[in-house]
Amino acid sequence: MAQAQAVTETKAQPIGLLRVLGPGHVWALGVGIVLVGEYMGWNFSVGKGGALGSLIACWVIGLLYTCVAMIDSEVTSTVAAAGGQYAQAKHIIGPLMAFNVGLYLVMAYTMLEAADALIVGDLVVALAAGTGVEGVDPKPFVILAISLLALLNYRGVLMTLSVNFVITAIAFLAIVVFFLSVEPWNPGAVLHHADLLAGLPYGWLGVVAAFQFGIWYYLGIEGTCQAAEEVRSPARSLPYGTMSGIITLLIAASLTWYVAAGLLPWEYLGQAITPLYDAAQASGSTGLQVFLFIGTLFAASASANGCINDAARAWFSMGRDRYMPIWFGAVHPRYRTPFRSILFLIPIAVSFAFTGLLDQVVTFSILSGLLGYTFMPINMHLFRKRWPLGSIERGYVHPFHPLPAIVLLVLCTATFFATYLGYGVQLLAMMSFYIVASLWFAFHRYKYVRRGDQFTMPWPRPRGY
């Protein structure tokens, strides 16, 4: 009788995600999503502001993302739930903001996943052309890449992020090896910065315009928050993984700029599709070319793999809270993954990838990310105001508050202006989409939300409640 009762109680308990991840997996998730931006995309900032303008954008946007990492480390190590920034907004601000933030996350990662798959398809076509095979269609390889990575995510998060750790580490190692191979300690031997660098060809306005593409160096590091419900120790793993991730990216971004700007003329660098690989060709080393090709392939695969993980967690969290149909809130009984959300987002990513419009897809991803970053200063202010230090247990307390939040808001505003300069129509279209989605949620979907069920943190009532 007691055994039957125990079985009944076990069946009544909802199946949750597994807590199996450590700081290394969090690092692999954050850096894995981003590192493809070191291999391509960042260099369009050179076309906007020149090589020196691109370097300024690299460091200014690096400051923006350092603020993001600091704020995320505090709030997510305290709100340790899948959905990351969505869960933060749900607990701290309210349902409409949470819905929008969840949608920002899903759109940003799904579009970035599509861009990564496009890159993988183009690399396969380039490899085939190099062996004399012309006319290869990249679309089957796009489908294959997304499907295989989705299968990996379907089978379990531990295996997914363990694979990501390996291929991300190899892609990062390729950048370091490239840097050491061009003798940075011997200026003029291989690198020719004195001959290739110009001033600011388009003035300081060009530097501001370069901010948009400076985001490519770091876009996605905030994805570490999506692992909050699956790490063994949120208070330890999330801050360590996130902060070590942003440090890794700051190093990789600086090395990437230094090598590419010293080997390629800025006029060419500003419009190159694969700048690091082209720089390897300019070095004259066949070994470096092969290594950088592998690094590019691994970086794109790691990014797509992490994007599938993060988009599915955000969509799953919204389904579990009934912001979307509850059907998406299911967890696989064996693999303990949000399998329905993973499968649902596959055709959406493939559809974006099939457009072939890499710059448009990534621009929409960047804009969705920027909207999410803009919410974070408000979120941080309310978090500290409603639950002051000492009122609840925090896994990490970021220093200098409220300075990081203020800097983040100012830099987000400047980056929106930079994006408007180059992609004003896309910015307005994206804002219109989110306004329509907000109206749909407010007047239709919100009636299905059970407000009392979605608050999972054992916090006291907020100050001023």
Domains of the chain in sequence order? 24-447 (1.20.1740.10)
CB burial string 30-49: b at 16+ within 10 A, e below? bbbbbbbbbbbbbbbbbbbb
Note down pLDDT in tens along the chain; length 465 residues.
Answer: 444 444 443 444 578 898 999 999 999 999 999 999 999 889 999 999 999 999 999 999 999 999 999 999 999 999 888 889 999 999 999 899 999 999 999 999 999 999 999 889 888 888 888 788 888 888 999 999 999 999 999 999 999 999 999 999 999 999 999 999 999 999 888 899 988 887 899 999 999 999 999 999 999 999 999 999 999 999 899 999 999 999 999 999 999 999 999 999 999 999 888 899 899 989 888 999 999 999 999 999 999 999 999 999 999 999 999 999 999 999 999 999 999 999 999 999 999 998 877 778 888 888 999 999 999 999 999 999 999 998 998 889 999 999 999 999 999 999 999 989 888 898 999 999 999 999 999 999 999 998 777 777 888 888 776
Q: Provide the pLDDT for residue 464.
A: 73
Q: Provide the pLDDT for residue 81.
A: 87
Q: Provide the pLDDT for residue 465.
A: 67
Chain centroid offset of residue 385 CA: 28
Per-residue H/E/C for 357-399: CHHHHHHHHHHHHHHHHHHHHHHHHHHHHHCCECCECCCCCCC
Phi, psi of 389 (to 5 degrees): -55, 135
Amino acid residing at 346: I
Q: Provide the pLDDT for residue 133.
A: 85
**CA 439 → CA 74, 94, 424, 432, 435, distances in Å?**
31, 15, 23, 11, 6
H helical segments located in 215-285: 234-263, 266-269, 275-283
Residues forming a β-bridge with 231: 21
Q: Provide the pLDDT for residue 10.
A: 41
Please say whether the beta carbons of 203 and 271 come within 8 A. no
For the entire predicted model, the pTM comes to: 0.93
Return the structure tokens found at 286.
Answer: 């066949």
Please say whether the beta carbons of 306 and 116 come within 8 A. no
User: Distance between CA atoms of 48 and 57, rounded to whole angstroms?
Assistant: 10
